[in-house]
Each structure stands twice: as structure tokens, then as C-alpha cells.
Amino acid sequence: MLILRSLHTILLTSLALTAFTVNATETRYVTEDFSTSLRTGPGDNYKVAGTIGAGEKVELLSSSNKYAQITDSRGRTVWIQQDQLTAEPSSKTQVPFLEQRVKELTEKLASVDSDWNKRTSDMRQKVDSSDGVINGLKQENQQLKDELVSAQQKVSDISVQLDDKQRAIIQQWFMYGGGIAGLGLILGLILPYLIPRRKKDRWMN
């Protein structure tokens, strides 16, 4: 009887093995609902080989009906129901990746923030420098305006002085001309009296 049962088990195992769909090793993840029971063969009638934690990473070796043969992180080759596996990484395995990603993004953000602060500082320095140049140009422009006003005032003063000198010269010329005219008038009055007398004196001689 024991022999017949063993033969029956071997036959069922052989049939199951021939029905397996053998694929290349693929990575799978145990669903995150609860810990899942493992079995020694592809069926509920096989002994429980232990449990595996939710979200554990496993390697898929083959599958038969609703069971899949896997190798877990402890090196056990066992069977698990296929609906307890998923191709999507579990949160358990994603946490280190997400933490690393957060770290990288944080460092990148810090670098961007540092670069932005540096650019902002450079821009502020350029603006301050430009303000200094602009203020300097404004002061220089005001100084030139003041110098222009001063020069215009000097020109105006010189023009007034020239006008005064010109009037003085004209007055002097008028005075000289008047004096010459007066002298000529006096000579014109005196000479007629002097010249005729000389003629009369000659005739008398």
C-alpha cells in the first residue's frame, strides 16, 4: 500500500513536471498583503516548506497551473501560488532606492540652490557696480553742467567788459575827433588873418 502511494506521488510529480512551463529566470516580488506559505511541490497537497515575508524579492524558475517555482533570498527552491507574485517592486525593496533618490535630489537641489545664490550674489554685485558707475556719471555730468554755467557766466562778464571797452574807445575817438575838429576850426579862423598880412607886407616893401 505504501509502495502504491509512493508510485502515485511519483506519477503525479512526473505529470506535473511535464506540464511545467519552464522560462528563463525572472525577478518577481511577493505581494505585500501578508506572509505567504511555501510548499514543496506545485499543489495544495504538498507539504508546507515554510513562509516568506511580504514584499520579498525572488527569482522565478518555472510555473505550473496556479503555482510557481521560485528561489528566495535564503536559497530555498520552493513553490508558491502565482497570484502571490507580482512583477512590480514592493515598497520594501523600493525604500532604499527611494531613499537614495531622495538623497540625490536633495544634493542636486542644494547644488542648484548654491549655484542660484552665487548667481544672485554676482548679479547684485554687478548691479551695485553699475549703480556706482551711474552715480559717478551723474556727478560728472552735474560737474560739467556747473562748469558750463560758470563758463557761460564768464563769457557774459567778458562780453560786458568788451562792450564797456568798446564804448570807452568810441568815446575816446569822439573826443579825439572833436578835438581835431575844434583845432581845425581854430586854425581855419586864425590862418586867414595871418596869410593876408604877410601879403600886404610884401607889397609895401
pLDDT digits (tens, 9 = 90+) for 98-141: 788 888 999 899 889 888 888 888 888 888 888 888 988 998 89
Contacts of 53 (CB under 8 A, 6+ apart): 30, 35
Place of cell 557766466: 153
- What is d(CA 92, CA 57) in angstroms, rounded to the nearest whole number? 9
Segment 170-175 mean pLDDT: 80
- What is d(CA 86, CA 204) in angstroms, rounded to the nearest whole number? 170
- What residues does 51 pair with on adjacent strands? 37
Helices (H), the chain: 2-19, 91-204
Q: pLDDT digits over 77-94, tens only?
A: 999 999 888 888 866 666
Confidence tier at 181 by pLDDT (50, 70, 90): confident
Place of cell 520594501: 92
**What single-letter DSSP state applies at residue 89?**
P
Torsion of the alpha carbons at 56, 61, 67 and 72, rounded to the nearest 10 = -30
Torsion of the alpha carbons at 66, 70, 73 and 74, rounded to the nearest 10 = 100
- What is d(CA 173, CA 94) in angstroms, rounded to the nearest whole number? 115
C-alpha cell at 164: 564797456
21-89 — its CATH code? 2.30.30.40
Instruction: State whether the Cα torsion 116-121-127-133 is positive or negative.
Output: negative
Instruction: State whether the Cα torsion 46-47-49-51 is positive or negative.
Output: positive
Assign 3-state DSSP to the chain and report helix, strand, coil percentages, each to 5: 65, 20, 15
- What residues does 27 pair with on adjacent strands? 59
Phi, psi of 131 (to 5 degrees): -60, -40
Confidence tier at 158 by pLDDT (50, 70, 90): confident
Question: pTM score > 0.85 for this model?
Answer: no
Confidence tier at 21 by pLDDT (50, 70, 90): very low
Domain ranges of the chain: 21-89, 93-174
